[in-house]
Amino acid sequence: MFVVIVGCNSTGYHLAKLLLVAQHEVVVLEKSLARCQRLWDELGSVVIHGDGTDLVDLRRAGITRADTVVAVTDKDETNLVICQMAKHAFSVDRTVATIKDTKNHTVFRILGVDSVVNSGDLVLDILERTIVESSFNHLSTLGDPNTFLVSLTIPDDASAAGKTLGELKIIRVDRNSAPGSEEQNPLSQSFPCVVVRGGKPLAPIAEMVLEARDELFAVTTSEEESNLYDILTGIW
Amino acid sequence: MQVLIYGCTRLADVLVPVLVHDGHHVTVMDPDSDRLAIIRRQTETDSVWIADPLMQDFLIEGRIDTAEAFYSLSEDDHKNVLLCQIASAIYNVPRTMCLLSDPQLQDFYETLGVQVLNGGHDFLSSARELLDR
């Protein structure tokens, strides 16, 4: 794959190194000459001195045949301009932008940026997890910033341990096999995806008995996250 | 008309009194409170002091949700591009205008359908035309 990275701050630099190791073709476009000179010694000719919002410089970087353009400069607005140019002036298949302001996620998606990575959110999330231990691990957002994949290791003292996923009402019990249980699931937007027990992945079914130290992966939303957490850790 | 302007630049100094004189209700936003104070002293206008224009909370404070026109007149082309597109795509502001000093960006964003203002000698008439549409 041929990837053009615009901006060689720490994100751009490490991304370029990762992609080069994985045998991809990479060009990094960096505006600051001083930074370029430092990088030429290490990364060689993959670093090009130029402005990622200049059509001529983008063409010089080979953007016309790029499969993916990644905009990782420190400014959200500049990353938008880079992605819009890549998409509309050069018809690049896939554009990726990093953002710092969470609220820009929606507008970037509406304006045609294919993937938006919120670096600010990721850092906040890790900080929150480090400070407040009792919460899910947020692994990834899924399309929408309010829908995410989370994981949780069932604590030893959880009252959920020893109950089935059906009893916990996080998996709908099939009406045919359990007549009379007409009760709705309390959570409509949360779905367990896989349970890892002793290093082995197991498909979650209603009859599965949850054990302490199981690692459960689930999709949930910002509204239902705390409910799901309460059910799984047994505070309810 | 309810008009919101971002950027207390020289262009705003010229445009704001004209729009107020034309009978429009103008709100100006800028990160620099000194520049806002000057414009507030010269003209009858609401002004909102904002820390970071790209935080949409501040746009709400400037009542972007009810604005009928939005001008982004800061010195930063990229900021103007983002703000104008936020105004039209998220808040459905029917008239937006974006000051761009880079000729390449002017051409590019015109092809994308963004109303571009180039800050040249005819800037005032193009800016006023927006409100006639």
pLDDT given at position A134: 59
Sign of CA dihedral B97, B102, B106, B109: negative
Q: Do B54 and A106 touch (CB under 8 A)?
A: no
Handedness of CA A194, A196, A200, A203 (dihedral sign): negative
What's the pLDDT score for residue B4?
94
The domain tally of chain A equals: 2
| Domain-embedded: residue A200 | yes
- Look at residues A122, A157, A183 and tell me which one is the last residue of a structural domain: A122
Q: Are A187 and A170 in contact (CB under 8 A)?
A: yes
Higher per-residue pLDDT: A109 or A235: A109
Task: pLDDT band for A180, please (50, 70, 90 cuts).
Answer: very low
Comparing CB atoms, the residue among A78, A101, A107 nearest residue B55 is: A101
* Per-residue model confidence (pLDDT) at position A181: 46
Is B105 within 8 Å of B99 (Cβ atoms)? no
Same domain, A147 and A111: no
Residues paired with A71 in a beta bridge = A6, A97
- Look up residue B93 and give its amino acid: V
In a mutational test of the B interface, the residue from A81, A82, A83 whose CB has the highest number of chain B CBs within 10 Å is A81
Assess whether A117 and A139 both reside in one domain.
no
Each residue's pLDDT tens digit, A116-160: 998 877 777 777 767 765 578 888 888 787 888 999 888 888 888
CA A83 to CA A95: how far, in whole Å? Answer: 6
Residues on chain A touching B104 (C-beta within 8 angstroms): 54-55
Q: What pLDDT shows up at residue A176? A: 56
- Closest CA of chain B from A131, distance in Å: 26
Distance from CA of B62 to the nearest CA of A (A): 17
If asked whether residues A87 and A198 sit together in one domain, one would say no
Whether residue A141 is found in the same domain as residue A196? yes
List the Cα angle A79/A82/A86 in 5-degree steps: 140
Q: Please check whether residue A127 lies inside any domain of the structure.
A: no
Q: Are residues A150 and A206 in the same domain?
A: yes
- Please report the ipTM that was assigned to this predicted complex: 0.87
Q: List the domain range (segments joined by +) for residue A192.
A: 135-233
| Domain end (from A122, A150, A173) | A122
Q: Note whether B33 and B49 are within 8 A (CB).
A: yes
- Residue B6 burial by Cβ neighbours in a 10 Å radius (0-12, 13-18, 19+): buried
A216: pLDDT strictly greater than 70:
yes
Interface of B with A (CB under 8 A): 54-57, 76-79, 81-82, 85-86, 89-90, 102, 104-105, 108, 111-112
- Which two three-digit tokens encode residue A118? 């919120």
pLDDT of the residue at B45: 75
Instruction: Examine residue A150 and state whether it is found in any structural domain, yes or no.
Output: yes
| Residue of B19, B18, B25, B17 whose CA lies nearest to B1 | B25
Q: Which of A81, A89, A106 sits opposite B90 (nearest CB)?
A: A106
What CATH number did the domain enclosing A13 receive? 3.40.50.720
Measured in angstroms, the CA of B65 and the nearest CA of chain A are apart by 15
Return the pLDDT at B102. 94
Residue A130 lies in a domain: no
Mean pLDDT taken over chain A: 87
Q: Give yes or no for a contact between A3 and A26, defined as CB atoms under 8 angstroms apart.
A: yes
Give the gap in angstroms from C-alpha A107 to the nearest C-alpha of chain B.
6
CATH code of the domain containing A218: 3.30.70.1450
Residue A128 falls inside a structural domain: no
Please give, rounded to a whole number of angstroms, the shortest distance from the CA of A120 to a CA of chain B: 13
A175 within a domain of the structure (yes/no):
yes
Tokens of A80: 């938008």
Q: What is the full per-residue pLDDT of chain B (133 aa) written as tens digits?
A: 999 999 988 898 889 989 999 999 999 998 888 888 888 888 877 777 776 656 677 888 889 999 999 999 999 999 999 999 999 999 999 999 999 999 999 999 999 999 999 888 888 999 999 988 7
Q: Where are the alpha helices (DSSP H) in B56-122?
A: 56-61, 77-89, 103-111
Looking at the fold, whether A118 and A58 belong to one and the same domain comes out as yes
Q: Compute the count of residue pairs across chains A and B with CB atoms less than 8 Å apart.
A: 51
| Interface contact flag, B81 A80, Cβ < 8 Å | yes
Specify which of A169-173, A178-182, A196-200 reaches the highest per-range mean pLDDT. A196-200
Q: Which CATH architecture has domain B2-132?
A: 3-Layer(aba) Sandwich (3.40)
pLDDT the model gives residue A166: 87
Whether pLDDT at A9 is above 80? yes
Q: Which residues of B touch A88 (CB under 8 A)?
A: 108, 111-112
Residues A111 and A142 in one domain: no
* Length of chain A counted residue by residue: 236
**Measured in whole angstroms, how far is the alpha carbon of residue A49 from the centre of its chain?**
30
**Tokens in use for A114?**
């294919």
Residues A101, B54: C-beta atoms closer than 8 Å: yes
Q: With contacts defined as CB-CB under 8 Å, which chain A residues touch B78?
A: 53, 75, 77-78, 80-81
Domain shared by A46 and A91, yes or no: yes
In a domain, A159, yes or no: yes
Strands of A143-222 (E only): list them.
144-153, 191-197, 200-202, 215-221
CA-CA distance, B12 to B28, in Å (whole number)? 9
A163 and A214, same domain (yes or no): yes
Query: Whose structure tokens read 């751009």?
Result: A12
pTM of the model: 0.74
pLDDT reported for residue B43: 83
> Model confidence over A185-210: pLDDT tens digits?
678 888 999 999 988 999 998 889 99
- A55 has a pLDDT exceeding 70: yes
